[in-house]
A and B are shown apart, each in its own frame.
Chain A
Amino acid sequence: MTLATLPTRRDEAWRYADMDGVARLGVAALDQWQAIDVAAGESLTRCLVVGSDAPELHRFRVTLGEGATAAFFVTNAGSDYTRVEVEARLARGAHFEFGGVTIGGAGVTREFVTQVVHAEPEATSNQTIRAVHWAGATGNFLGEIKVARHAQKTDAAQDFKGLLLEAGASANAVPQLEIFADDVKCAHGATVGALDEAARFYMMARGLDPATAQRLLVQAFIGDAFVALEDEAERETLLDAALAALEGAKL
């Protein structure tokens, strides 16, 4: 099936999108999904650095078999509209992990949209998203969790934190929980704040220049998103890409 038209902001999943960026992506791009099947008992880890000087859309449809694990870790740091969508469908005892960072300025919108379907009992999911923005940029996280009627003992968690380095930048978090089972744990949290000025002054008083102090604080802030990634080299690649985007940020 081909989408005849572009989505609008009335579509819940596109509520905070950059519609000009979406238009530049074109209708054809909206039909492209990468399908990934993780067989029962298997595990898969995907690490991505996305974003460039043109709009990007990355869409994944992940199906997890019984006891399977899928982990996605993404640094979203382009200089144009960049959207990453992951739909994950979990069979019994499967685990889905998502760690994402949106970081950048230049008035650009960067976003993550996830839909995690706990279709069977005893599956777990954990999502940690960090957004660091300045210069009129926007970071979005739209996270939907669906727990099917018989998917008892589901354990799903979602944690979003936004860090705005100056006024005019924004962060939007939209958790959506749809739970039809009664014996489940679904946790979600969202906070947005500014850089800890007390910590910044403390660091400067010890000799760190403002840029280094900010980099260390941002590194600590976004680090949470990649804690679950065991491969140290991959983790460093994702962190470095994020911190490289911080160059030239408002101090």
Chain B
Amino acid sequence: MLEITNLHASVGDKPILKGLTLSVPAGEIHAIMGPNGAGKSTLSNVLGGKPGYEVTAGSVTFRGEDLLALEPHERAAKGLFLGFQYPVEIPGVSNVQFLREALNSQRKARGEEPLSGGEFLKLAKDKAGLLKMDMEMLKRQVNVGFSGGEKKRAEMVQMGILDPAFAVLDETDSGLDIDALRIVGAGINAIMRAPDKAVLLITHYQRLLDVVAPDKVSILAGGRIVETGGPELALRLEAEGYDAVMA
């Protein structure tokens, strides 16, 4: 579903990704772990198409298409979801308005009919329930006044509503307490665990992987994937640390 080949990317003049190759087929949840500064967030930002990240070599193919040739909103309409490490506050815009416009923009781009207000609210209520989030929160402004944990839960509600084929989740577990971690993890499973979907799960910690059992785990270091294995690789990392495992 996602094929990354020899990807090089820079921020400003600084090369961050240096020949990253990774393949994530449909049905797979693939965890990316790595030390600080390895390029994990750069990878997610490049996949999302964030301005300021320049791809200098390599390719990314998503469902057979050149992902890098698409604008961020086109990537979303093709089924890519980027879960933000730091979800952005948008004062003056309610979650409901934002998500309904977002969903209908995506549907329009795919040649589908827009959802009516009533249909949308029903869907939103359903997905908010999945993440144990009150509908009242969805009526509030996007992420404004949300705690760190609420922002991450709201990200997952957004993911549920937009129903992507592929999710890149950048440290979705940061800032979560134990209960919220379980709720978010269960949300990822419920929304994304399917034969025709896949997830790139960027995380620092094993604790999220206890809930969302990954099929594969890769170590990203120095801008490249240096090792790929099964779930046991994450356990080894947790026990021994990056230096020992990569030595």
**A201-B51, A204-B72, A204-B73 in contact; A209/B90 too (CB < 8 A)?**
no
Are B92 and A207 in contact, CB atoms less than 8 angstroms apart?
Answer: no
The CA of A206 and the CA of B84, in the complex, are separated in Å by 11
B interface footprint on A200-244 (CB within 8 Å = 1, 0 otherwise): 011111111110110011011101100000000000000000000
The CA of A219 and the CA of B97, in the complex, are separated in Å by 12
Residues in A neighbouring B102, C-beta threshold 8 A? 203, 206-208
Residues in B neighbouring A219, C-beta threshold 8 A? 92-93
Q: Which residues of A come within 8 Å of B, CB atoms?
A: 196-199, 201-210, 212-213, 216-217, 219-221, 223-224
A interface footprint on B99-126 (CB within 8 Å = 1, 0 otherwise): 1011101100100000000000000000
Residues in B neighbouring A216, C-beta threshold 8 A? 90, 93, 97-98, 101
Q: Which of B50, B84, B92 contacts A224 (CB 8 A)?
A: B92
Are B98 and A217 in contact, CB atoms less than 8 angstroms apart?
Answer: no
Residues in B neighbouring A208, C-beta threshold 8 A? 73, 101-102, 105
In B148-180, the 8 Å CB interface with A consists of: 158, 162
What is the distance, in angstroms, from B47's C-beta to the closest C-beta of chain A? 10
Interface size (B, Cβ < 8 Å)? 30
Q: Which residues of B come within 8 Å of A, CB atoms?
A: 48-51, 71-73, 75-77, 82, 84, 87-93, 97-99, 101-103, 105-106, 109, 158, 162
The CA of A216 and the CA of B91, in the complex, are separated in Å by 10
Q: Which chain A residue has the least Cβ–Cβ distance from B90?
A: A199
**A201-B51, A212-B105, A216-B101 in contact; A207/B76 too (CB < 8 A)?**
yes
Residues in B neighbouring A206, C-beta threshold 8 A? 76, 98-99, 102, 158, 162
**A204-B76, A207-B162, A208-B73 in contact; A220/B90 too (CB < 8 A)?**
yes
Are A198 and B88 in contact, CB atoms less than 8 angstroms apart?
Answer: yes
- With A202-B88, A220-B91 already in contact, 11 other A-B pairs whose C-beta atoms are closer than 8 Å: A201-B50, A202-B87, A204-B73, A205-B72, A205-B75, A206-B158, A207-B102, A208-B101, A220-B93, A221-B92, A224-B92
Are A212 and B101 in contact, CB atoms less than 8 angstroms apart?
Answer: yes
What is the distance, in angstroms, from B116's C-beta to the closest C-beta of chain A? 18
**A203-B90, A205-B72, A220-B91 in contact; A197/B51 too (CB < 8 A)?**
yes
The CA of A157 and the CA of B48, in the complex, are separated in Å by 42
Residues in B neighbouring A224, C-beta threshold 8 A? 92
The CA of A206 and the CA of B98, in the complex, are separated in Å by 9
The CA of A206 and the CA of B101, in the complex, are separated in Å by 9
The CA of A217 and the CA of B98, in the complex, are separated in Å by 10
